[in-house]
Amino acid sequence: VLVLKTIKCKAAVCWKPNSPLIIEEIEVAPPRDHEVRIKIIATGICRSDEHVLSGELTYVKFPIILGHEGAGIVESVGSKVTGIKTGDRVIPLIVPQCRKCRCCLNPESNLCCKNVFGNCDGAMNSDCTIFTCRGQGVYNFLGTSTFSEYTVVEEDSVAKIDANAPLDKVCLIGCGFSTGYGSAINTAKVRPGSSCAVFGLGGVGLSAIIGCKVAGASKIIGIDINTDKFTKAKECGATECINPKDYDRPIHEVLAEKTDNGVDYAFEVIGNIKVMESAILSSHYGCGTAIIVGVAPSDAKISFDPMLLLTGRSIKGSSFGGWKSKDSVPKLVCDYMNKTFNLETLITHKLPFEKINEGFRLLCNGESIRTVLTF
Ligand code: CND
Ligand code: ZN
Ligand code: ZN
C-alpha cells in the first residue's frame, strides 16, 4: 500500500480581513479516501475572493486560503477515488456534483446538496484539516483553495479536462467565465433578438455579455460606473455602454427609454443590493427577468414592490452559471479549444504567484479584468 505524505509548499494565507495575504510555507495533508490532491498551475483572482478579504462575508472563518478559479495537475488520489488519476489535468469545482442528491437529480438545478457554495451556516469553509500553517489549522474556501501550490478537493468537486488545455487560460472556466456565460445561456436562457442589460463589467459581467451575444441577443447594454471598462465590453459584444453617473435620473428610467420600456433580461454582476433593485426595475412589464449573479455582503437585504413580480417580472439567482459542474466543465474546456469563445480578452494581467497582493490591488482600483497568477 502506497502511503501518501504531507506536502510542504507555499500558499497565500489570509490571516484576517483587511490585511494583505502572506505567502507562507504550509503543510497540505494527503488526500483522504474520496479526495484528490492537486498541484495548482494557474489561478485567477475573482471578486468573491476580495469580498472575503474585505470582511463582507461574515460567515467565512479565518485564517483561510482563498482562491477558487484554478487549474492544475493531479498529484495523488485517495484510495476510493475512481475516474481521476495522478497526472490528469483538472479544474477544481466551486459547485460539487455528486450525481445522487435531490439537486443533482433535478435537471433544472446545478447545485448539489453536498454544497459548499452559499451554505451560510459556516459549512462554507468548515474544514480546517487540510492545511496547516505555523502549527494552526487553516480553513478551506469553497472546497477549492487555489491560492496554494497544492490543494485537496473532494472527488465530486473536480473535473478532468483535456490533457492539452492551456491551464493559464482555462483556469477562468473554474469560476468567472463559466459563471457569467452560463448566467445568460442557462439561467436566463436568453432568446435570439432579445434585449439585455448587464450591470457590472468585470470578468463575470463581460462573460455574461459573451453569453448574451452567443445566445443571439440583439441589444446588449453594459452598465458600469467605471467608463474604462467600456472598450472591452464592446469587444465582448455590448452594443452600447452607459455610466449611471452621467445621468441625473435613475438608471432604470434611462434603460426604459432605450429599450421600449424595459429589457428582457437584466443581470446584476456586482454584488450591490441597490443595483439588484435597479435590475428588477429595469425588467420589462409582463416578461422581464432579473438575474442575480453578484454576491452581496452577508447582512444585506433587497427590497422592492411585490407588484413588480405580480406584473410578470421574475427574479432568478445564478451560481456558477447554472452549469452542472462535473458534466459541463470538460465540455466548456472543449468549446474553448474549438474557439467557441475566447478567454484571452478577459485576461489583462499575468503575475507570478508571489505578487498576489498586487493582483488584488489591480482588481480593486479597476485596472484589471482578470489577473492570472502562475506558480
Ligand atoms: P469585478 O470587481 O471585476 O467587476 C465588478 C464591476 O462592477 C466593476 O467593473 C465595477 O466598476 C462595477 N461596479 C461597481 N459598483 C457599481 C455600481 N454601483 N454600478 C455599476 N457598476 C458598478 O468583479 P467580478 O466580475 O469578478 O465579479 C462580479 C460579482 O460576481 C462579484 O460580486 C462576485 O463576487 C460575483 C461572483 C458570483 C459568482 C456566482 O457563482 N454567482 C461566482 N463568482 C463571482
Ligand atoms: Zn468567483
Ligand atoms: Zn449532489
Which residue's C-alpha comes closest to atom 10 of ligand 1?
200
Cα of 238 from ligand 1 centre, angstroms: 17
**Helix H or strand E segment including 22:** strand 22-28
Ligand 1: which of 47, 94, 231, 371 to mutate, most ligand atoms within 8 Å of CB?
A: 47
User: Please, which pLDDT band fits residue 120 given cuts at 50, 70 and 90?
Assistant: very low
Answer yes or no: is pLDDT of 122 > 60: no
Atom of ligand 1 nearest to the CA of 272: 18
Cα of 88 from ligand 2 centre, angstroms: 23
Cβ neighbors of 248 (< 8 A, separation 6 or more) are none
For residue range 267-310, what is the model confidence (pLDDT) as tens digits?
Answer: 999 999 999 999 999 999 999 999 999 999 999 999 999 999 99
Asked if 104 is an active-site residue, the reply is no
* φ/ψ bin of 197: left (φ > 0), alpha (ψ from -120 to 50), beta (otherwise): beta
Ligand 1: which of 270, 274, 316, 345 to mutate, most ligand atoms within 8 Å of CB?
A: 270
Atom of ligand 1 nearest to the CA of 69: 43
Cβ neighbors of 129 (< 8 A, separation 6 or more) are 29, 137
Atom of ligand 1 nearest to the CA of 205: 25
Alpha carbon distance 327, 255 (integer Å): 37
Q: Which three cell numbers stand for residue 184?
A: 445568460
Asked if 252 is an active-site residue, the reply is no
For residue range 37-85, what is the model confidence (pLDDT) as tens digits?
Answer: 999 999 999 999 999 999 999 888 899 999 999 999 999 999 999 999 9
Instruction: Quote the ipTM score.
Output: 0.99
Asked if 48 is an active-site residue, the reply is yes
Answer yes or no: is pLDDT of 121 > 90: no
Alpha carbon distance 130, 150 (integer Å): 10
For residue range 332-342, what is the model confidence (pLDDT) as tens digits?
Answer: 999 999 999 99
Answer yes or no: is pLDDT of 119 > 80: no
Is there an atom of ligand 1 within 6 Å of 51 CB?
yes
Active-site position among 9, 19, 46, 236: 46
Task: Provide the pLDDT for residue 96.
Answer: 94
Q: Quick one: average pLDDT of 3-17?
A: 95
Asked if 51 is an active-site residue, the reply is yes
Which residue's C-alpha comes closest to atom 27 of ligand 1?
47
Alpha carbon distance 74, 71 (integer Å): 10
Confirm if 3 and 29 have CB atoms less than 8 A apart: no
Asked if 46 is an active-site residue, the reply is yes
Strands 131-133 and 265-268: unpaired
Is there an atom of ligand 1 within 6 Å of 284 CB?
no
User: Please, which pLDDT band fits residue 128 given cuts at 50, 70 and 90?
Assistant: confident
- Burial zone of 229 (CB within 10 Å; 0-12 exposed, 13-18 middle, 19+ buried): buried
Q: Which three cell numbers stand for residue 302?
A: 433587497
In which residue are the cell numbers 478532468 written? 160
Task: Provide the pLDDT for residue 124.
Answer: 45
Q: Quick one: average pLDDT of 311-325?
A: 98
Is there an atom of ligand 1 within 6 Å of 57 CB?
no
Task: Provide the pLDDT for residue 125.
Answer: 54
Average pLDDT taken over every residue of the chain: 95
User: Please, which pLDDT band fits residue 127 given cuts at 50, 70 and 90?
Assistant: low
For residue range 172-222, what is the model confidence (pLDDT) as tens digits?
Answer: 999 999 999 999 999 999 999 999 999 999 999 999 999 999 999 999 999
Task: Provide the pLDDT for residue 1.
Answer: 61
Atom of ligand 1 nearest to the CA of 207: 25
